Structure 1
């Protein structure tokens, strides 16, 4: 995710978040109530989102069938099928789900009771599920878009339909799931929409069926995916296809009326992929493309194989060309850092955003003569303030109530990229570049944490870097910059005196 600016560009091109309304409270409606003890919300103990995810099972695959009614303010009919392996013996299964009406639940083809608890859907099958067994859970439900002025994740209303923005804690506003990046799974989508609409989702198309005035579009991922990276676009869209490096199929999704105007931007993706591959190795997925949505979100998002962008950043003349291209590379970089190699916990999000910011800045240096060192020196000057406001890069402060994307602060963007700059200074450019390539190759399709990065950096750097990372990632104060003892913290400007006039 990259938080982009809502107004005219500031000379420093800071990434500021647009004000957003609070996330809607849990709105699961249930039709049956499980017998026995009261249902309780569970979680996997994430420090940032303690009730996110659920223990006791590992999801292997999701199959989502969605029927769009032709209006983006009405619920979609949905069937979510989950194939999971039990890692504990369970007599109840908790799923994250918080915005829809549950009509029925089946476990292995047999009706199951269900109830709600917090933002969990709690399923009680008619028999206990033993450790090591494989089970299939089928939930028939609605998937309800939130009010247009309350968009903080889940379905995002566009001018002609819907798109998804599930980071960090919002996939369960769309479908029942184990909504934590530590549990990646395969995804299949079947999206039915009235004729005249186009539906696109993560992965590659597997079929298209027209019947009775509607079309069902099917897609399947070829690599596991975190729930927060799921994407479904429904709109009056054009799908633009081309070929990327090594024959990689590319497909972009844009408003049909704007296809010609946006084509120059779409044509940049093949060279950007080639640039990234030169830096860190082969592109990790089966396809890529950008989804340019006519919507106001305040951010761009790295949904797997189909990154979400606000269309207006490409048509607003106030945005410099180099800046827009660097934003495109930021989201592209996430396909390696955050999507293929996902965070084990949300405290590890600096690994996503720090790397994406690093390659965004490196691209701007090489393509637009925007020196990386200048940006890092400016970040160093602000780093202590960022740490005080948002926490150190690897220990971000939890978000304020109702503002779940509030974890996306400067300390995990430029503040985390600053850690990578310090690391490169510490171990040398050759070792740093080798570390980056090995990191994405060895951890492809997995979820990993900060400790894993520290171990690999120490191995490639040839010495124990635990102390170095402890200071840079967890310290309240920013350590001295290796090789730049002259870099200092810059105090914030003094507030102006409203009584004085120029």
Structure 2
């Protein structure tokens, strides 16, 4: 995610957004009958203190199949059927999905009607019969309504956002379960397919590769599939009128870009060209591109962020015209999307790395050098937002704060100075290779950096990532 610097400095206000998804749903069914006393109940949260209540226990999602009918500005705006295929991690009789503010009309497990209840952002489902450990099961949820956008003074609006001719979804950190039932935490990644039906004349875009389009009467159905594991906050659906360009980078990566034709700051051709250049450059530097396609979407919506939605980052009009922002979001395809954090406290592994990539792109295209970016910030001795907040554990209020982005990026440059260019870029390539399509943690990065460099880096990383004062030597 890219944020304007003026917004990052206000990040102490983020608490409101992180708790916004705990609001009470607008519909409920009678409480499900209790599971037998001996039966296991999946946890209603993964216990991540940065996003209280998000995620669930007892199962591992393998695949989401989302069949969505979206009619912008209608009521209901969204009618959906979500089929969530999962594997039980232990004996399981009852489990939760995250879902906020939508009306549920039916739940089935393996084709049999299941009882369920609603409480806040939880949809609790009782299976018709207990599921054995290791058992694969499919829960199908039929639902409808007008998804709620999340309003926050730092990030502005995020989640399900109306545009002049459609909708735009930007879900980090807790917006996904405003529009589909899910295990909404980055540690549970899954593949996805989307079937999105919209009024004829509109285009529906989602993650991955487009697999088909069908027009019947006044509606068009678009089908997309993302086979690589994806965190819920990276799922996206954008609906509207777009100028689309497709092709391949010179290095052979398929590209799909779309720009709202009313945007005057950029064009589909400009977005395509910059995306192609950046993807090929990062492939040489960070390792093979991790997905089957690349791209981006620029919509005519004033939002205070750009987001690294998997395979197709999303941009507002201004950020979609900025090459360094595009470089930032595309670097996330390696750092954040393919290698995904296990807990939100490790967000610097996403944002510090993408900030450093942004500096690298600026340097190679005639902007300030990476060293100049580092020096300019290091001289700011009186900046508590930079030095008193440890980027590897910034706290909920500073989740998207300046330290996570800028001190995170500075940590990487200080590491580069300490181990040299060859070892530094070998560390980055080993990181993207060894944790490709998985989840990882800061201690794992530290261990890998020590192994590749052959150096004891414990004190170095403690000062840069966990200390609450400006490092003075390294």
TM-score by length of 1: 0.86
Choose from 71, 74, 94 the match for 2:73. 71
Q: Report how far residue 196 of structure 1 moved.
A: 0.7
Equivalent residue, structure 2, for 1:364? 362
Residue 4 in structure 1 maps to residue 4 in structure 2: yes
For residues 438 and 245 of structure 1, the distance between their equivalents in structure 2, rounded to whole angstroms, comes to 24
- Residues 1:314 and 1:273: Cα distance change in structure 2 (over 3 Å): closer
Q: Is the alpha carbon distance of 1:369 and 1:294 closer, same or farther for their aligned partners in structure 2, counting shifts above 3 Å?
A: closer
Which residue does the alignment assign to 2:174? 169
1:308 paired to 2:306: no
Alignment of 1:251-266 (within 5 A): 251-258=256-263, 262=267, 263-266=269-272
Aligned residues: 461
Alpha-carbon shift at residue 249 of structure 1 (Å): 1.4
1:26 CA drift (Å) = 3.4
Alpha-carbon distance in structure 1 between the residues aligned to 2:133 and 2:264:
52
Report the Cα offset of residue 438 of structure 1: 1.0
Aligned residue in 1 for 2:96:
94
Measure the CA separation in 2 of the matches of 1:239 and 1:100: 32
**Alignment partners' CA distance in 2, 1:168 and 1:465:** 31
1:435 matched to 2:441: no
* 1:62-461 mapped onto 2 (5 Å cutoff): 62-71=64-73, 74-146=76-148, 152-258=157-263, 262=267, 263-313=269-319, 324-382=322-380, 385-386=384-385, 391-399=389-397, 407-461=399-453
Deviations 1:400-436 (A, max 9, x none): xxxxxx6211011011011111111221221111101
Distance verdict in 2 for CA 1:213–1:346, change over 3 Å? same
The verdict on how the C-alpha distance between 1:261 and 1:371 changes in structure 2, with shifts beyond 3 A counting, is closer
Q: Indicate if the aligned counterparts of 1:42 and 1:55 stay in contact, CA closer than 8 A.
A: yes
Deviation string for 1:372-417 (max 9, x for gaps)? 112112322447612566x300001113xxxxxx621101101101
Give, in whole Å, the separation in 1 of the partners of 2:331 and 2:297: 16
> Compared with structure 1, are the counterparts of its residues 479 and 66 closer, same or farther at alpha carbon in structure 2 (3 Å cutoff)?
same
Following superposition, the deviation at residue 75 of structure 1 comes to: 2.8
Q: In 1, are the aligned partners of 2:97 and 2:182 still within 8 Å (CA)?
A: yes
Instruction: Return the offset for 1:360.
Output: 0.3
Using the alignment, how far apart are the partners of 2:375 and 2:406 within structure 1?
Answer: 10
* Conservation of the 8 A alpha-carbon contact between 2:295 and 2:312: yes
Task: Classify the secondary structure of the residue corresponding to 2:92.
Answer: coil
Displacement of 1:36 after TM fit? 2.8
Deviations 1:336-377 (A, max 9, x none): 000011001101110000110001001111212312112112
Q: Measure, in 1, the Cα distance between the counterparts of 2:387 and 2:104.
A: 43
Deviation of 1:147 (Å): 5.6
Deviation by residue 1:223-249 (Cα, 9 ceiling, x = unmatched): 110000001111112221122133221
Other structure's SS at 1:35 match:
coil
Residue 491 of structure 1 corresponds to: none
CA RMSD of aligned residues (A): 2.6
Whole-Å Cα distance in 1 between the matches of residues 74 and 332 of structure 2? Answer: 29
SS of the residue aligned with 1:42? Answer: coil
Point out the more displaced range, 109-118 or 57-66: 109-118
Of stretches 380-389 and 347-356 in structure 1, the one that deviates more from structure 2 is 380-389
Asked if 1 retains the 8 angstrom alpha-carbon contact of 2:91 and 2:131, the reply is: yes
1:89, CA displacement in angstroms?
Answer: 1.1
The 1:116/1:208 distance shift into structure 2, 3 A limit, reads same
| 3-state DSSP of counterpart to 2:251 | helix
Q: Residues 245 and 273 of structure 1 are in contact (CA less than 8 Å); yes or no, is this contact kept in structure 2?
A: no
Q: Do the aligned partners of 1:184 and 1:224 also contact (CA within 8 Å) in 2?
A: yes
Please, which runs of 5 or more residues in structure 1 have no aligned partner? 8-13, 316-323, 400-405, 483-502
Partner secondary structure for residue 230 of structure 2: coil
Paired residues of 2:70 and 2:197 also in contact (CA < 8 A):
yes
Separation in structure 1 between the aligned mates of residue 145 and residue 455 of structure 2, nearest angstrom = 51
Moved over 3 A (4+): 14-24, 37-41, 147-152, 256-261, 312-315, 381-384
Q: Would the aligned equivalents of 1:74 and 1:145 in 2 still touch at CA under 8 Å? A: no
CA contact (8 A) 1:349 1:412 kept: yes
